[in-house]
Amino acid sequence: MIKKIGLLISLFATIGLVMGIDILEFKIDHMAVPSASEYINISSNADLTKYEGSGTVEDPYIIRDIVIINHTGNGIVISNTNAHILIKNCTIENPNGKYNRRFSKGVYIKNAKNIQINDCRLNGCEIFLENAETCQIKRSSAPITVSNESRSSGLSNLKSQLKSQDCLIEGCKIDNGGLAFFEATNFIIKDCYLENGPIIMEHPINFTFSNVTLLNSSLDIFSPSNVSFTGVNLIEPKINLMFGLDGYPLEIKNSTVNGLNIYYYKNKHGIKIRNLKAGYIWLANCTKAELNKTESLGIFLLRSNNSVIENSKVNDVGHGILLSLSENCIMENVSLPNSRKGITIGYGSDNTTLNQSFIKSETIGVDIYSNRNKITNNLITDSYIGISLFGSNSTIMQNTLINNSIGIDAKVSNSIEHNNLSYNLIDVKRDGIGMNNHIGLEDNIS
């Protein structure tokens, strides 16, 4: 067979020569790939002497009117400096060049302090602060990321390691991008507008947001400490929250969601809230609170033991209902007809009862991370997971779960019995238990 193929190739080549047809010759040259480099790289105070200014508060070094387009590599990189620097009126576009798998930074501040970035236009890149102190970013359109790495600053005249702290972000308008903060401290964010992008905060400490608008954006907050929102407007937001064990990490004042007021209550023992239509309802350290006949876009309870939510409706925006560090609570006759998230019974919210409620969620109907809870007589439908249990010793009884991808996703150490599971899609096994139409414990109907 190989000989026949060789003869055919030889025959076609001969015919081409006889008939005067050109035989194309393909040649692949070595492709030269440009090395990524920093367009401007300042790695010490000594590198700043060529710029105007003297590096003081009154007379900072100024980097101005720089235009960087289609450069392969980071745009402006400043590291290991403590002189005062002003970057203003610069344009940086597409620092990845034609290599869209690169993730170059437009402005990269690393182990440095006293830097101000004003009126800069960035496209296809971000401003990145890493271990940056006393910096300011004003009137920028670029996404901003702030991180805090454990490393030495390299500056002999700075006694302690630099951290991402004591910074200001003001007057920024960001579309298709967001703000991300990782282990940052003492930040002020004011007069900003974000659209189609997240605000992400992991372990933020002492953050103040004022006059900030989020449109079609998510607010993802994990283990905050002393974070306040004043005059914040949320429009079609997605909310993801996880609280730590200490303190009262969030405060909200004079803010709205979808044009409805956010009601925030703190230290109101025994408060009774009735017939209230709200954006969000937040309770912080409000033990023995009672919510009755409320209609809102989300209910959040933090450190509010022995509270009751009944005869209430949560509409189709955001987190649904979240209990965090709130024990011995009761939810009864609660309706969540189309929430992005259903009901989350978080860590430290043991001995909670959910009864006679209707839940339809895009993700998880009832998400349980605590122990010894009772989930009974509820209708949960059209969710990715009907009931998800990561805690133990809970009772899941006489619930109806219909048309979910997964009916019940639970661990062995829970009592699951007399539930009606119909038309759920996936049969999953974890820790030896079937999780869907067949639970494998007692008298569940499928």
- 378 contacts 367 by C-beta, under 8 angstroms: no
106 vs 433, residue with greater confidence = 106
Residue 248, pLDDT score = 62
| Tokens 């064990």 found at | 245
**Structure-block tokens of residue 237:** 């937001």
Is the model's pLDDT at 34 over the cut of 90? no
* Pairing state between β 280-284 and 263-266: parallel
Q: What is the pLDDT of residues 306-338, one digit of tens each?
A: 999 999 999 876 679 999 999 999 999 999 998
The Cα-based distances of 396 to 334, 444, 446 in angstroms read 17, 10, 15
**Local confidence band at 102 (pLDDT 50, 70, 90 cut-offs):** low
Encode pLDDT of 247-304 as tens digits. Answer: 568 899 999 999 999 999 999 999 999 999 999 999 999 999 999 999 999 999 999 9
Indicate the pTM of the whole model. 0.83
pLDDT in tens, 293-310: 999 999 999 999 999 999
- The C-alpha atoms of residue 411 and residue 253 are separated, in whole angstroms, by 40
Predicted confidence (pLDDT) per residue in 106-160, tens digit: 999 999 999 999 999 999 899 999 999 999 999 999 999 999 875 434 443 443 4
- Give the count of beta carbons closer than 10 Å to the beta carbon of residue 277: 12
Residue pair 127/106 in contact (Cβ under 8 Å)? The answer is yes
Contacts 24+ apart (CB under 8 A), 26-29: none
> What confidence tens digit (pLDDT) does each residue in 146-172 have?
998 754 344 434 434 678 999 999 999
Confidence of residue 240 (pLDDT cuts 50, 70, 90): confident
Q: What percent of the chain has pLDDT over 90?
A: 65
8 Å CB contact between 213 and 190: no
